Structure 1
Amino acid sequence: MKTNVEMNKKVKDTFDSIESINEVKVSPFLKENVMHKIRNASEDIQDATWSWFTPKLQMATLVCVVVLNFMAFNNLKETTYDTNVSNFAKSYGLSTSTESSILN
């Protein structure tokens, strides 16, 4: 029964401490101010996301892409369709030889 008395005393002390807490005064515009700050912070983050991709970097990227396309096009012109097909046929044994055999 002794623990029950101690528990009741702890519960009574807890309720007494709750009653001593004062009401907090909050500005009626607190939510609006916080939401405004959050909105501004998200806009700053979005602006900073693409700020590294400056016009100079865009131009350098465009030049690199054009040069790579030009090099690929020149490489494509050098290799012809006939050589590719004949190499494919030789590698898979599909080509017919023009050499005459002993039996013919």
Structure 2
Amino acid sequence: MMKDSRINKKVNATLNAVETIQEVKVSPFLKDRILNNLTVDKEETLKVWSWFTPKFQLATLIVVILLNIYAYKVLTSDNYNTTVEEFVDTYGFGDETYTSIFD
């Protein structure tokens, strides 16, 4: 019984404390300022990528394709193959057979 009366007093004290809370005064333009701040952040993120327009994207795509075509032609040319073969011969990376104890 003693515990119940203490708990009831604490509950009543907590509920009475709610009555002492005063109303908060909020500026009538608070909502407008918050919404304005949110839209400013979105506009700044759009400005970061605004230079990457569709025309620039197309030009970048064309440059990348041309660079890939050039790289493919260089890799398949005979001059590149002879240069690689000379490198392999010079540094001994050829198809040599190695003996192993596991064979």
Q: Scaled by the length of structure 1, what TM-score is found?
A: 0.52
Residue 26 of structure 2 corresponds to residue 22 of structure 1:
no
Q: Shift of the alpha carbon at 1:52?
A: 7.9
CA RMSD in angstroms, aligned pairs only: 3.3
Q: Shift of the alpha carbon at 1:18?
A: 1.0
Any unmatched runs of 5+ in structure 1? 79-104
Aligned length: 72
Secondary structure of residue in 2 paired with 1:24: coil
Residue 45 of structure 2 corresponds to residue 36 of structure 1:
no
The aligned amino acid for 1:28 is P
Equivalent position of 1:2 in the other structure? 2
Separation of aligned partners in 1, 2:70 and 2:4: 89
Any unmatched runs of 5+ in structure 2? 78-103
The aligned amino acid for 2:12 is K
**Using CA pairs below 8 Å that are at least 6 residues apart, which structure has the higher relative contact order?**
1
Separation of aligned partners in 2, 1:64 and 1:41: 33
Q: Shift of the alpha carbon at 1:12?
A: 1.3
Q: Percent identity?
A: 34
Larger radius of gyration: 1
| Cα separation, partners in 2 of 1:66 and 1:3, compared to 1, 3 Å | same
Equivalent position of 2:65 in the other structure? 65
Equivalent position of 1:12 in the other structure? 12
Q: Shift of the alpha carbon at 1:23?
A: 0.6
